[in-house]
């Protein structure tokens, strides 16, 4: 169990990796990501009337902002909170506009480059301190996560089997970790994916945490033992591998995949708008340069196609689909694409209600829960709706911490509390599955 504790005996296999990623983060004395975010700000705007919402949308279009929350300008309406990342050369214009109008606003991050570099230097210190053993309280690069999976595959053959379900657009393996005690009988299963959206780094950190906790507590915790004895978990720690890698090397705030488009220079498709369920309708964009671009056709992205094929093939056994995003602090269930109540609403609703209560019991953090359409916004072509329509009865999307203070730059010190509380929610949902829903 060398990978599980923190300051245990040095794990030779991981030392060189730590050094590689230190280099990646500190290329000489140059700035992270070529200093591209110097002077950029993250601002929260709250348009209160229709006119204000209209003016804000126009401003966003002109200034080419990067929307953090919600993920597209179609969702900007009176009363919605919007967090935008605004480039340095646009922030002066935006602030002048805001002072002229009476639109409510708050600067969340004064200088994004400084915020990033502060986070990264803390990360370097934390990595140095825990150079021995695997540290689950830092963000890991794709290479580190894949090596971690291969390592666990070797060291825990009784509980873990790692396999690939295909290749990404750029040719990377799409690894899935199957967790659970091997058994002759066909067991029911839970699918968990993290990192559909590249910049939401706390997602992959949670997927790793889940596996660590499972291995650490399998013997001591009766609930975990029951889960691993009665179920298989298919865990995909990084769904959008190309995008995640790109968010480490080029653009920390990249969201989409990295596929090329024949007619436009923009790369990537929103891997959570590319599923064959009301594809490219409300809440998805047909424009390749938008962050919610639905792609040229459903399942155009090899990552989406690989997962869809896997779920189609195993849908008889898979009882739950859980997808991890950030940030908003919400637990969402179908539908995303329309305002309507799902069949068996009460079973799903009560599972969500109990899960958020369990989550809150740890650190008092409040999650909203409900159908995605009315709780977050309407979006078509999402993985959760697709999984539900395909016949998986319990499908949920988590939007993890926070609610905008750090946004996508959730500090590593918050990985542990975030994952600890989320763990309880996931265990609670899983135990719910093992009982018959009334
Ligand atoms: C800001 O700079 C970028 C690239 O340097 C440019 O594409 C954009 O048009 C500029 N925006 C404004 C408002 O000047
Ligand atoms: C995991 O281990 C099994 C055998 O123990 C092996 O067949 C398989 O290729 C391994 N998976 C990966 C991704 O290396
Ligand atoms: C699930 O959470 C509820 C509280 O919301 C609690 O009463 C119940 O015991 C939890 N179940 C498990 C298995 O954790
Ligand atoms: C509703 O729940 C029942 C019992 O668990 C199940 O047989 C049925 O397939 C479910 N229907 C849907 C639409 O999920
Ligand atoms: Zn997301």
**pLDDT string in tens for the chain (438-residue length):** 445 544 333 343 343 444 444 444 444 446 899 999 999 999 999 999 999 999 999 999 999 899 999 998 889 999 999 999 999 999 999 999 999 998 999 999 999 999 999 888 777 777 766 656 789 999 999 999 999 999 999 999 999 999 999 999 999 999 999 999 998 778 999 999 999 999 999 999 999 999 999 999 999 999 999 999 999 999 999 999 999 999 999 999 999 999 998 888 999 999 999 999 999 999 999 999 999 999 999 999 999 999 999 999 999 999 999 999 999 999 999 999 999 999 989 999 999 999 999 999 999 999 999 999 999 999 999 999 999 999 999 999 999 999 999 999 999 999 999 999 999 999 999 998 888 775
Which residues does ligand 3 sit against, CB inside 6 Å? 223, 354, 357-358, 427-428, 431
Atom 10 in ligand 1: residue holding the nearest Cα: 89
Residues 6+ apart with CB under 8 A from 108: 41, 42, 43, 44, 83, 404, 405, 407
Residues 321, 196: contact at Cβ < 8 Å?
A: no
Q: What is the pLDDT of residue 3?
A: 54
Kindly provide the residue ranges of all beta strands, DSSP E only, lying in 53-171, ordered along the sequence. Answer: 66-69, 82-86, 104-109, 160-167
User: Of the candidates 160, 135, 136, 165, which has an alpha carbon nearest to the alpha carbon of residue 149?
Assistant: 160
Pairing assessment for the beta strands 82-86 and 66-69 based on DSSP bridges? antiparallel
Note the residue count of the chain: 438
Burial class (CB in 10 A: 0-12, 13-18, 19+), 185: exposed
Which residues are the active-site residues? 399
Q: Rounded distance, CA 46 to CA 225, Å?
A: 47
Question: Could you check whether the bond before residue 98 is cis, i.e. omega within 30 degrees of 0?
Answer: no
Which residues does ligand 1 sit against, CB inside 6 Å? 63, 87, 89-90
DSSP H/E element including 45: strand 41-46
DSSP H/E element including 215: helix 202-217
Residues 332, 370: contact at Cβ < 8 Å?
A: yes
Q: What is the pLDDT of residue 23?
A: 42
Q: How far is the CA of 151 from the centre of ligand 2 (A)?
A: 10
Could you tell which of 223, 351, 358 is best to mutate to test the pocket of ligand 3, judged by most ligand atoms within 8 Å of the CB? 358
Could you tell which of 316, 347, 348, 393 is best to mutate to test the pocket of ligand 4, judged by most ligand atoms within 8 Å of the CB? 393
Name the β-bridge partners of 163.
Answer: 176
Q: Rounded distance, CA 202 to CA 199, Å?
A: 9
Report the sign of the C-alpha dihedral through residues 8, 3, 213, 416, in that order: positive
Which ligand 1 atom is at minimum distance from the Cα of 90?
A: 13
Atom 10 in ligand 3: residue holding the nearest Cα: 428
Atom 2 in ligand 4: residue holding the nearest Cα: 344
Q: What is the pLDDT of residue 341?
A: 94
Q: Rounded distance, CA 305 to CA 266, Å?
A: 21
The CA R_g of the chain, rounded to the nearest whole Å, is 21
Q: How far is the CA of 433 from the centre of ligand 4 (A)?
A: 12
The gap from C-alpha 237 to its chain's centroid, in whole angstroms, comes to 9
Its pTM stands at: 0.92
Q: Rounded distance, CA 136 to CA 120, Å?
A: 16
Q: What is the pLDDT of residue 4?
A: 54
Q: Rounded distance, CA 290 to CA 278, Å?
A: 19
**Residue 42, CA distances (Å) to 197, 200, 218 in order:** 19, 16, 42
Q: What is the pLDDT of residue 31?
A: 85
Ligand nearest to the CA of 157: 2
Could you tell which of 154, 157, 163 is best to mutate to test the pocket of ligand 2, judged by most ligand atoms within 8 Å of the CB? 163
Q: Residue ranges of the alpha helices (H) in 318-437?
A: 345-363, 372-375, 383-390, 415-434
Which ligand 1 atom is at minimum distance from the Cα of 62?
A: 13
Kindly provide the residue ranges of all beta strands, DSSP E only, lying in 195-255, ordered along the sequence. Answer: 231-236
Q: How far is the CA of 198 from the centre of ligand 2 (A)?
A: 26
Q: What is the pLDDT of residue 130?
A: 62
């Amino acid at each position: 169990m060398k990978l599980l504790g923190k300051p245990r005996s040095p794990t030779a296999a991981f030392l060189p990796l730590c050094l590689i990623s230190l280099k990646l983060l500190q290329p000489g004395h140059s700035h992270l990501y070529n200093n591209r975010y110097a002077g950029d700000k993250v601002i929260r705007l709250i348009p209160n009337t229709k006119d204000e919402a209209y003016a804000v949308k126009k401003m966003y279009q002109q200034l080419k902002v990067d929307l953090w929350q919600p993920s597209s300008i179609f969702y900007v309406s009176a009363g919605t909170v919007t967090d935008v990342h605004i480039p340095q050369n646009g922030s002066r214009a935006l602030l002048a506009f805001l002072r002229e109008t009476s639109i409510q606003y708050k600067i969340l991050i004064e200088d994004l480059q400084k915020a990033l570099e502060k986070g990264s230097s803390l990360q370097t210190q934390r990595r140095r301190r825990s150079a021995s053993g695997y540290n689950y309280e830092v963000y890991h690069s794709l290479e580190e996560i894949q090596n971690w999976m291969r390592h666990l595959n070797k060291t825990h053959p009784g509980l873990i089997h790692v396999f690939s379900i295909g290749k990404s657009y750029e040719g990377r393996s799409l690894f899935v970790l199957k967790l659970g005690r091997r058994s002759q009988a066909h067991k029911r299963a839970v699918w968990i994916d993290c990192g559909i959206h590249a910049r939401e780094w706390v997602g992959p950190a949670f997927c790793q945490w889940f596996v660590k906790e499972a291995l650490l507590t399998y013997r001591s915790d009766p609930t975990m033992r029951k889960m691993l004895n009665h179920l298989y978990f298919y865990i995909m720690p990084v769904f959008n591998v190309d995008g995640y890698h790109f968010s480490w090397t080029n653009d920390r705030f990249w969201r989409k995949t990295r596929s090329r488009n024949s007619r436009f220079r923009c790369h990537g498709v929103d891997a959570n708008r590319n599923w064959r369920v009301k594809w490219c309708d409300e809440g998805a964009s047909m424009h390749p340069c938008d962050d919610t671009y639905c792609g040229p056709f459903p399942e155009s992205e090899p990552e989406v196609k690989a997962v869809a094929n896997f779920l189609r093939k195993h849908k008889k056994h898979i009882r739950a689909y859980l997808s991890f995003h950030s940030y908003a602090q919400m637990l969402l269930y179908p539908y995303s694409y329309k305002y309507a109540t799902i069949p068996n609403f009460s079973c799903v609703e009560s599972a969500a209600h109990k899960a958020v209560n369990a989550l809150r019991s740890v650190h008092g953090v409040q999650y909203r829960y409900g159908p995605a359409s009315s709780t977050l916004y309407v979006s078509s072509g999402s993985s959760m709706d697709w999984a539900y329509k395909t016949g998986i009865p319990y499908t949920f999307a988590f939007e993890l911490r926070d609610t905008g203070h750090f946004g996508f730059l959730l500090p590593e010190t918050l990985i542990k509390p975030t994952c600890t509380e989320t763990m309880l929610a996931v265990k609670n949902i899983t135990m719910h599955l093992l009982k018959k829903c009334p």
